Structure 1
């Protein structure tokens, strides 16, 4: 039976069933796997393309940053000749343009004192007790007869004095450390002089920052420097800097000058009377011009990137090729929105309000170009209007209203709005009931203690001490005494003491209904002699009014538009005394609007993020489909394998049966062999 069916089937080893099963499974898998792979590749390409798009948008947005800053259009340049007399430090964007001559007649210096008390060991206990009170102010000297003799001291109400408690175990270095630990402009240093240690005290520079030191114990006389006792040696007087600007003499407490030439900060290095330093501050339009050119170049780069991703272009062989996002509707809408903004007028700007006014035009291929003649004409002749096109602008029709852009202005609608101030903001105050009269706490001793509550913060018990012959002397002492209170300093609640008519008035420095000043405690003599026996207290008032026809929210001197109204996000600061109708305007400028649009694209809930999430969800779906396909193919593999194993068993059985039949006829009875 050589030609039997068993032989034909290759009995025992003729078929590689493993290979056959794999081929059958691969044939079944191929079309489905191809669809999954193709879709996955497309989606991954889109994800990569969106990454490229986001990077390009971010780079373009960075180029918009200078144009969205109004300081770019206020840039200044200064040319100061080489000199050792002054050093220019900073030049603000809005520095005053002009020609200047500067003469340094005198440089500021600190007031410095050295104690007559000496110690051989600066770290040994000095055995001194008592309190040192240090104040800062201006000394009047007996000039010109005795220029070193002290006459009187006027305390600087804007400076913080201090009182140091000294115990017997304090060393000279310990006294210095206690002084330096206080929050003041007084510095103490221990110096080694001729084998002994002395204490040097120095203040901030300037005539009005000189030191007065008094002690309540004769142990500390060696540290006193006042009109009565001055055993400390004055090594250097406090002197103001004197600078002449175009012939006008001005005086400053420090050698760091930032308010003489508006916008220019410079240091005074040395005095050189009569020597003039001439310089000019001019507009620097080059900064803005370069920023505009960078914007055009950046936009063209972005446009080319977006066009290659969303459009159809020709390759090097002139064959049409589609971008990776050419069939992505979201990407195309994004590109359309950017192009529409390029060609639109800027919201909130009435005239001269489009890029074309600056000489920036769109070419046939969609990129931008600068028409140089038009561009230079705009930069030279209409620079302020160019700034209004690109940078944010706010303005008001009255000087008593200042409009600023708040932190919630992302959705503020540009435009012109109307407003009415019905209530002007005021500060809380308390004013004496009677006119000023001289006060002398020494000649008329008694209880001159008092405490003041300012905006809800109450001072510690304070004590008025001294002879006050004028209202100005009392005003200065009260303001210094109250504002140096530790409680008020901690809460940052301060007052101004003013003279209104002939009455002393204490006034909070903040506006609004939370602004209030009142005496929480007064001693009998303070009440009678300082003329606060019948004070009038007035609580501050919040600004009130309407904005765009709707009631505004007033807080102190600030008016805020109604929540979620078109102008919401703008802050209006109202000067005291301002009332009536006004208008105000807001524009983000082109750079601000484009930046806002790109922010929306790049936001976590923006167009690109939503599209990426959709693509990633589809990729996740493909992974699930791949898992399901693998599961089905594995089952198919198992089924075919089982079938072929069964077949192999049948074939094996047939082979065994065939072998047992071989020669059977020869063994049957009554048969003869073929031989």
Structure 2
């Protein structure tokens, strides 16, 4: 705000009006300005502190979510490796046992792909109205094809059908030297999954008939399975033969899932996953300590050489951070859902009584894995039973949800602080307006006083001059 006070002394009085007005205005606003400044400093620090707290909790919650993934488990007690990843992949669950298995993939399971006869008119060829029936295995899907349909619109209708989409059936148009064909494929593999189409004669496909081979070369009227029928996968495990409709084989070896990639032979080795478990546990410990130490830094004041607090932290004296620390510490002391593994101390995880951070003793962890054979229960302790919230990670997220959820305690605190910030801004604007008004009023009053003093001085000077003139005449 530009000051209306002009520097210099009053012409009439000789007083420094600018300094007088400034001193009076400063004295008037000092108390309120100090209150606003202190409130702004505290409010800014609190907003920054709550923002940092939100970031810390978001990072911690993300780590808990990643570690608790049910599709990419981070706490498997056993690890499976293959000698040839180009042939197959392998994943061991907590029910696996140590061992080696020689797997020979003779052929992969394949899916059905069928074609209609060719349409010389291309994708815009007219298709008669009717009910198109698509059969796969024991399931039949009916589509109502309306008058005016084309080969392209039939394809679009198939791809838009929710039932076919969920069954993994899709359609496209492929054009060869004979014309355009409706080609249907499926993600379902295995013998008996061949697709057949009926109901509209020109789109009829006998899925049990193979076309496009040396014995049955492709012609304009060719309609059927392209190249071969769908078949099961054929493999041997340590010489024992088995078939699978899927290229994911999860019931051949207890606790082991095989993902078939190509024909060939590969050795699968199943062993304790100590390194993987240790890495996942360390991630949990590091994430917990980052949150706990971050909260401590937001609340702990800077101390001088005598140990006395000098500079307050952003949230010093605030009860909210202590409430969050208490919430995340609660689940640590609760008994887990496992049978033999029930508390974190069995894995070498303990709480530092001075700092509140977690310590991870790798020696105790190794003993728990090798001597006590607890590796298979680590996942149950951290993730819990399938479909339940009894794992440590879920219990921690549940404890933190009142603070971190949308509309929770942190959001409410942020809203409150922003309202206070707005009020402080308005208070400052009001004070600035008052200062401007007061400055203008005082300046006018002192300028008026200065003008009056100037006039009185001029009058006094005139009277003095008159008396001086009269005195001179008398002497003359």
TM over 0.5: yes
Q: Deviations over 1:3-22 (max 9, x none)?
A: xxxxxx98626223233211
Find the counterpart in structure 2 of residue 607 from structure 1.
409
1:326 to 316, 324, 328: 316
Contact 2:88–2:266 (CA under 8 A) maintained in structure 1:
no
What aligned pairs does 1:457-496 form with structure 2 within 5 A after superposition? none
| Superposed displacement of residue 647, structure 1 | 1.5
- What is the distance in 2 between the residues matched to 1:643 and 1:392? 80
| 1:652–1:74 Cα change, 3 Å | same
- What is the distance in 2 between the residues matched to 1:10 and 1:161? 101
| Superposed displacement of residue 589, structure 1 | 2.6
- What is the distance in 2 between the residues matched to 1:375 and 1:47? 41
Is 1:298 the counterpart of 2:291? The answer is no
Find the counterpart in structure 2 of residue 519 from structure 1.
none
| 1:240–1:186 Cα change, 3 Å | farther
Find the counterpart in structure 2 of residue 365 from structure 1.
354
Secondary structure of the corresponding residue to residue 73 of structure 1:
coil
- What is the distance in 2 between the residues matched to 1:94 and 1:355? 19
2:334 to 345, 363, 367: 345
Secondary structure of the corresponding residue to residue 15 of structure 1:
coil
1:307 to 296, 306, 310: 296
| Superposed displacement of residue 357, structure 1 | 3.2
| Superposed displacement of residue 37, structure 1 | 1.1
In the alignment of these two chains, the number of paired residues is: 436
Q: Deviations over 1:334-392 (max 9, x none)?
A: 334444554x2247678854333332222343232223332222344223444343223
Secondary structure of the corresponding residue to residue 104 of structure 2:
strand
- What is the distance in 2 between the residues matched to 1:199 and 1:663? 124
Q: Deviations over 1:417-473 (max 9, x none)?
A: xxxxxxxxxxxxxxxxxxxxxxxxxxxxxxxxxxxxxxxxxxxxxxxxxxxxxxxxx
More RCO (CA 8 Å, sep 6+)? 2
- What is the distance in 1 between the residues matched to 2:180 and 2:467? 139
> TM (normalized to structure 1)?
0.53
Is 1:191 the counterpart of 2:176? The answer is yes
Find the counterpart in structure 2 of residue 393 from structure 1.
385
2:138 to 152, 157, 173: 157
1:269 to 262, 267, 270: 262
Contact 2:337–2:381 (CA under 8 A) maintained in structure 1:
no
Find the counterpart in structure 2 of residue 496 from structure 1.
none
Higher helix share: 2
- What is the distance in 1 between the residues matched to 2:298 and 2:111? 67
| Superposed displacement of residue 289, structure 1 | 1.9
Contact 1:110–1:236 (CA under 8 A) maintained in structure 2:
no
Contact 1:46–1:324 (CA under 8 A) maintained in structure 2:
yes
| Superposed displacement of residue 44, structure 1 | 1.4
| Superposed displacement of residue 651, structure 1 | 0.9
Q: Deviations over 1:299-339 (max 9, x none)?
A: 33333322222234436897644423222233333334444
- What is the distance in 2 between the residues matched to 1:226 and 1:385? 49
Bigger radius of gyration: 1
Higher strand share: 1
Moved more, 178-187 or 353-362: 178-187
Contact 2:25–2:438 (CA under 8 A) maintained in structure 1:
yes
- What is the distance in 1 between the residues matched to 2:142 and 2:64? 49
RMSD: 4.8
| 1:350–1:636 Cα change, 3 Å | farther
Find the counterpart in structure 2 of residue 208 from structure 1.
192
- What is the distance in 2 between the residues matched to 1:357 and 1:286? 17
Contact 1:114–1:198 (CA under 8 A) maintained in structure 2:
no
| 1:19–1:282 Cα change, 3 Å | same
Q: Deviations over 1:508-551 (max 9, x none)?
A: xxxxxxxxxxxxxxxxxxxxxxxxxxxxxxxxxxxxxxxxxxxx
Q: Deviations over 1:472-495 (max 9, x none)?
A: xxxxxxxxxxxxxxxxxxxxxxxx
Find the counterpart in structure 1 of residue 278 from structure 2.
289
Moved more, 347-356 or 62-71: 347-356
